Amino acid sequence: DAGVIQSPRHEVTEMGQEVTLRCKPISGHDYLFWYRQTMMRGLELLIYFNNNVPIDDSGMPEDRFSAKMPNASFSTLKIQPSEPRDSAVYFCASSLAVGRGVGYEQYFGPGTRLTVT
Amino acid sequence: AQKVTQAQTEISVVEKEDVTLDCVYETRDTTYYLFWYKQPPSGELVFLIRRNSFDEQNEISGRYSWNFQKSTSSFNFTITASQVVDSAVYFCALSETTTGNQFYFGTGTSLTVIP
């Protein structure tokens, strides 16, 4: 069974450009999470969805960040305009809901390493 | 306040030594879940174990073992006879039923196993 798929794996862009990160969760999972990891701030939760509906976006740094989940098998995280301080590894993760399956843990994708110059 | 504390930032051990990674958590929920993840140098986050608050049995999986103690709010992870491949950053995480599937991650412990 395929795990969480993220694309691209690496993205290098110039300041001011729009960046779109993509995620395909594990089929059948109810929850989808977007995280950002940096040396300074560690692993931060940006936003998460339940059944395609955003539940908590309080971790989104500012209005330049937006996330969508148009269907159960696809989500995007967009940064517009990008800034050098957005450089980080962005992870997508998915999980089942409590009581729905034997696993409650989050499964992570390989991450997208974003560099904004 | 931090819900999950991993006080050890970096640990170095010589191969074949045993090492314990500490994790202390804080919650008011009676039902909650604890997790450990491994992040090797390649960068992916790999799920290792889940433990729910009603199951205080210790778990062993090969060279890995976990000690869950509600009395001290700790969920420690021990690697026996460490190997170079164990070198990674290890994260402990907490999930509370009152906050849904949201995870609270610790800051991680970087383990280096020296050959």
Confidence of residue A1 (pLDDT cuts 50, 70, 90): low
Q: How far apart are CA B1 and CA B24, in angstroms?
A: 13
CB of B94 closer than 8 Å to CB of A97: no
CA distances from B89 to B4, B11, B72, B110 (A): 15, 10, 24, 4
Report which residue type is found at A101. G
Per-residue pLDDT, averaged over A56-79, amounts to 94
Per-residue pLDDT, averaged over A10-20, amounts to 97
Per-residue pLDDT, averaged over B76-100, amounts to 92
What is the CA angle B111-A111-A75, rounded to 5?
Answer: 145
| CA-only gyration radius of chain A, Å | 14
Q: Least CB-CB distance to A95: which of B44, B101, B107? A: B101
CB of A48 closer than 8 Å to CB of A101: no
B95 touches chain A (CB under 8 A): yes
Least confident span in A2-16, A25-39, B97-111: B97-111
- Dihedral sign of CA atoms B34, A38, B38, B110 in order: negative
Average pLDDT of every residue of chain A: 92
A56, pLDDT greater than 70? yes
| CA-only gyration radius of chain B, Å | 14
Helices (H) and strands (E) in chain A, counts: 0, 11
The whole-number pLDDT of residue B54 equals 87
User: How far out from the chain centre does Cα B72 lie?
Assistant: 15
- How far off is chain A from B14, nearest CA to CA, in Å? 25
CA distances from B73 to B4, B23, B28, B34, B103 (A): 10, 8, 11, 11, 17
Comparing alpha-carbon positions, the chain B residue that sits nearest to A33 is: B102
The whole-number pLDDT of residue B70 equals 93
Strand A42-50 with A31-38, pairing = antiparallel
Hey, of B45, B48, B97, which one would you mutate to test binding to chain A, going by the most A CBs within 10 A of its CB?
B45
The whole-number pLDDT of residue A98 equals 65
Better-scored residue on pLDDT, B14 or A41: B14
pLDDT digits 0-9 by tens, B9-67: 999 999 999 999 999 999 998 888 999 999 999 999 999 999 988 888 888 899 999 99
User: How far out from the chain centre does Cα B105 lie?
Assistant: 10
Give which of B54, B1, B8 is closest to B27, Cα–Cα: B1
Q: How many CB atoms lie within 10 A of CB A114?
A: 21
The whole-number pLDDT of residue A102 equals 47
B5 touches chain A (CB under 8 A): no
The whole-number pLDDT of residue B110 equals 97
CB of A23 closer than 8 Å to CB of A75: yes
Q: Which residues of B touch A93 (CB under 8 A)?
A: 45
Q: How many CB atoms lie within 10 A of CB A89?
A: 16
pLDDT digits 0-9 by tens, A72-108: 999 999 999 999 999 999 999 999 876 654 448 899 9
Q: How many CB atoms lie within 10 A of CB A50?
A: 15
